[in-house]
Copies of this chain bind each other. A is one copy, B any other.
Amino acid sequence: MKVRAKKQRIDPEEVVRAAIELLDADGLDQITLRQLASKFGVQPPALYWHFKDKQDLVEDMAQAILKGGGIDEIDLPADTATWAEWLTSVAYSVRRALLSHRDGGRVVAGASFFRARALARLAVLMMVVLNRAGFDSAHSTLGAGTVIDYVWGYVIEEQAGEGPEVDPGDPSVGEEVAFPFSLFDLYGLDAGAFAKDRDKLTADEQFDWGLQLIITGLKSALKEAKRSAAAK
């Protein structure tokens, strides 16, 4: 039976929880150990008893975010033949988990791969599924990596957009912003219409469309692999 001494003022799990609160309130770049310590009425060096350094804390945050999103509960699909649907739903789950906290994408990206166990576990599961579906080990690895990269990249960009708004109409932002718009004109296109048409799709639909490009590519690659395997 684990007994916690009464004098202990801070619990590592509570610290991680508080850090995520700070994350949501102020963003990743604003998290400081000093601020975190003050939340517990403790001096900054006290945290070093429980965490090796700041990076260590961030990796625990990443793990907590993924776990909170249920990523660690994902399991193999019942039927390997449904690998494409499984992969899609997994990608959705990861995106949802990363979106559940401000800068979630950057936090998890900043954690080293192996420490963010939930993600490492998921990557292995994806490899297993792709392998069972018919990809060789090398391409199972690459396929899983491509899907994970896509989700990360998409969410990071999505969350970057949540930051300070830039209004292209604001004259103070100057020529830098106007530049790409003039390029549209150059090719006889309406920049405003492009942006508007894109926003006719929901964020989920936009995410899904890019994801399906990769899934479709995987299906096609799988057919090709099976064909060349049958040929010899």
Contacts and interface: CB of A to CB of B under 8 A. Distances in A.
Interface of A: 109, 112, 114-115, 117, 120-121, 123-125, 127-128, 131, 136-143, 145-146, 149-150, 152-154, 156-157, 166, 176-177, 179-180, 183-184, 187, 189, 193-195, 197-198, 200-201, 206, 209-210, 212-218, 220-221
Main secondary structure of the interface of A (DSSP, over half): helix
A209 B179 CA distance: 33
Nearest to A109: B156
Given A177-B114, A179-B120, A137 B194 contact: yes
B176 A115 contact: yes
Contact of A117 (B142, B179, B189, B197): B179
A180 B215 contact: no
A187 B128 contact: yes
A183 B124 contact: yes
A71 to B, nearest CB: 14
A128 B189 contact: yes
A19 to B, nearest CB: 19
Identical copies of this chain, number:
2
Contacts of A200: 138
Nearest to A152: B153
A137 B120 CA distance: 37
B213 A179 contact: no
B210 A216 contact: no
Contact of A137 (B114, B127, B197): B197
A183 B141 contact: no
A127 B181 CA distance: 12
A49 B128 CA distance: 56
Contact of A197 (B136, B150, B187, B194): B136
Nearest to A214: B213
A194 B123 CA distance: 12
24 contacts: A114-B176, A114-B180, A117-B180, A120-B179, A120-B180, A121-B180, A124-B187, A125-B183, A128-B189, A136-B197, A137-B198, A138-B198, A139-B209, A142-B209, A142-B210, A143-B213, A149-B149, A149-B150, A149-B210, A213-B218, A214-B214, A214-B217, A215-B217, A216-B220
